[in-house]
Structure 1
Amino acid sequence: MPLPRIAPMLATPGVLPAMDDRWAFEVKYDGQRATVYLPGDGTMAVRARSGADITAAYPELGDLGSAFGRPAILDGEIVAFDSEGRSDFERLQSRMGLAGSPEKAARMARSVPAHLVLFDALHLGRNSLIRLPYTRRRAVLEDLGLDGKHWSTPAAITGHGAQALEMTRAAGMEGVIAKRLTSGYQPGVRSRAWIKIRHVHTIDVIVGGWVPGRGRLAGLPGAVLVGERHRGSLRYAGSVGTGWSDRERNAIAELLQAAEMDECPFDRTPDVTGARWVLPRLVGEVRYASRTRAGLLRHPSWHRLRPDLAPDDVA
């Protein structure tokens, strides 16, 4: 009997739950979400969050099919670890998109090995598990003993959310996922039963450009292009397109229109389609999760304007 297709359940951004003894906490890994289909005949298929078949992009995971003799559907994240054992999305990017190039995928698997982190069991044998509470599904997953060279089932802890979050902060990890103990699996739903709590940083940046929005945001900024002072020039740090209220977006739009100019203020013109440039005099505070090796902000969101700061005050 063919296995059913199950869309992944998604977490909602938030903060630590107040009554954390009703929640389990797992490390949040920075990788590519993957649903693993194991028919029980020695084969396997891996699908991305979009539903695309990405099995061929990760040949080192193929042995999981032969190592597991029963039909199953598992939920997890494909990651690439850095030298400190932390998931590094930038490393993983060199592995993504290679499903149509199996020879290149095999070469890359030797230099940048992928690892499958398993965190949920959705189907086993002839039985769907999605209506079971998290605690039951998690017990099934752990009983499977799926720990190998290229896959593992990291621990989850019940309660102690603040300690778990601090542990991941100290270890330089992205954060934690809180999962309500009584919750079923909700395919394709961004649910409050799963909450992702990221460690974030803030930085003061200088706005050097913007990209117009579309639809109801036509004429307003869909994103602002921000930079940091570096050796007397303005270095591009990324594009920020979230975090505004409608009122803030309209206020920023007026400031940007008043500051328009023809030349790019950044020391190197970023490759951003439709960019419009402004005098680099508007300062804002941005939240972000981490940085790429090139110094760009990852997962940035707008926090607030800083009218109390002049561009020269931004280090």
Structure 2
Amino acid sequence: MRLPPIAPMLATPGSLPPAAEDTRWAYETKQDGQRAVVYLPGDGSVTLRARSGEDITAAYPELHALGGALGTTPAVLDGEILALDARGRADFQLLQSRMGLAHAPGRAARRAAEVPAHLVLFDVMHLGGSPLLPVRYARRRRQLEELDLAGPSWSTPAAIVGHGVQALRATREHGLEGLVCKRLDSVYEAGVRSRAWIKIRNMRSEDVVVGGWLPGRGRLTGLPGAVLVGQRAAGTLRYVGGVGTGWSEGERLRLAELLRDAATDVCPFTPVPPVAGAHWVRPLLVGEVRYSTRTRAGMLRQPSWLRLRTDLTPEQSSADLPDDSV
């Protein structure tokens, strides 16, 4: 059967729905992977398309067996492709080694043996020849669960109706990326970033020591476009990333003055990070940053600036790398 192309529905960043509306929403774990629309024409084949519409089927050979999971029933499903770490949690850094191999099936097969992918399914947009886009989420979800799609490389995690506060707390306690809130009466808005789906990303905050900066461009010429930050590990200051967002105009101007006063020709990080165009400063300034997760090498993902900690010296701060990042 020829299936219609469907662009995935997107969630809007936000917060939990009001408590009075809690039972009108379902809550799903926010996954840290690659979005995929799954086309099952009912002939034993499968096509995976990324959010961009690119055919990525060849990049994930372990998912090809999904083509026969529904027999001759055609379907279009929505999901996320993950790579799991040793603790069973999604690790985007691991997944990056699998992405971009759609035109290199030999390399994809070798990487699949080393870093297996897992597909989690959370919606159905077309089933048995019938479009489900105008059908409410609650009914679509029931139909998806009735398909009983659980296999060696794919699964259908549960959604919880109500109990949003507890669901969000659980994602934080288990170190998961966050939560997606979906209104039970919402239709599937293909290609739309909708308020009917709300995504909440769990963010962490820590102290860091500023060791350098990169000059801004355009209207930021002469000002820091990003600061280079580190944390202590084994008696040295280790580079953990660049932070380029989170300042007001006044805060950026103030930071520029402090960075100029602390200028040095000596890089304070060990080892010296390969950052082109960096200006080094003596490691005197402490800041607090917010970030989503760390890479396995200890680098901060999606960091943003919270505040300058003028109340702390580097020695007084808690700017230390966690043990498992050293």
**TM-score under structure 2 normalisation?**
0.88
Deviates more, 1:185-194 or 1:59-68: 185-194
- Letter aligned with residue 33 of structure 2: G
Alpha-carbon shift at residue 149 of structure 1 (Å): 1.0
- Letter aligned with residue 3 of structure 2: L
Q: What is residue 324 of structure 2 aligned with on the other side?
A: none
Equivalent residues in 2 for 1:1-315, closer than 5 Å: 2-19=2-19, 20-68=22-70, 69-315=72-318
Cα distance in structure 2, aligned partners of 1:135 and 1:111 = 37
Q: Secondary structure of the residue that 1:252 maps to in structure 2?
A: helix
Alpha-carbon shift at residue 132 of structure 1 (Å): 2.4
Structure 1 pair 269–74 and aligned structure 2 pair: CA distance change class (3 A): same
Deviations 1:149-182 (A, max 9, x none): 1111100011001111222233332222111222
Cα distance in structure 1, aligned partners of 2:6 and 2:154 = 21
- On the 8 A contact 1:229/1:314 being kept in 2, the answer is no
- The number of residues matched between the two structures is 315
Deviates more, 1:160-169 or 1:208-217: 208-217
Q: Secondary structure of the residue that 2:76 maps to in structure 1?
A: strand
Structure 1 pair 185–273 and aligned structure 2 pair: CA distance change class (3 A): farther
Cα distance in structure 1, aligned partners of 2:302 and 2:310 = 24
Deviations 1:112-142 (A, max 9, x none): 2111000111222433322322212212211
Deviations 1:195-237 (A, max 9, x none): 2223322111111222334445444433321101234432101
Structure 1 pair 217–136 and aligned structure 2 pair: CA distance change class (3 A): farther
Alpha-carbon shift at residue 257 of structure 1 (Å): 4.0
Deviations 1:243-269 (A, max 9, x none): 333443343344334444333221122
Q: Secondary structure of the residue that 2:89 maps to in structure 1?
A: coil
Q: CA RMSD in A?
A: 2.2
Cα distance in structure 1, aligned partners of 2:250 and 2:135 = 43
Cα distance in structure 2, aligned partners of 1:63 and 1:42 = 8
Structure 1 pair 6–234 and aligned structure 2 pair: CA distance change class (3 A): same
Deviations 1:289-313 (A, max 9, x none): 2222211112322111111112232
Q: Secondary structure of the residue that 1:313 maps to in structure 2?
A: coil
- Letter aligned with residue 13 of structure 2: P
Question: Unmatched 5+ residue regions in structure 1?
Answer: none
- On the 8 A contact 1:228/1:314 being kept in 2, the answer is no
Cα distance in structure 2, aligned partners of 1:36 and 1:230 = 44
Structure 1 pair 135–242 and aligned structure 2 pair: CA distance change class (3 A): farther
Cα distance in structure 2, aligned partners of 1:126 and 1:218 = 57
Cα distance in structure 1, aligned partners of 2:253 and 2:213 = 13
Cα distance in structure 2, aligned partners of 1:84 and 1:180 = 31
Alpha-carbon shift at residue 184 of structure 1 (Å): 2.2
Deviates more, 1:298-307 or 1:242-251: 242-251
Cα distance in structure 2, aligned partners of 1:305 and 1:11 = 32
Structure 1 pair 135–245 and aligned structure 2 pair: CA distance change class (3 A): farther
Q: Secondary structure of the residue that 2:68 maps to in structure 1?
A: helix
Cα distance in structure 1, aligned partners of 2:219 and 2:3 = 41
Structure 1 pair 303–140 and aligned structure 2 pair: CA distance change class (3 A): same
Cα distance in structure 1, aligned partners of 2:258 and 2:193 = 35
Cα distance in structure 2, aligned partners of 1:271 and 1:142 = 48
Cα distance in structure 1, aligned partners of 2:278 and 2:5 = 40
Q: Secondary structure of the residue that 1:50 maps to in structure 2?
A: coil
Q: Secondary structure of the residue that 2:315 maps to in structure 1?
A: helix
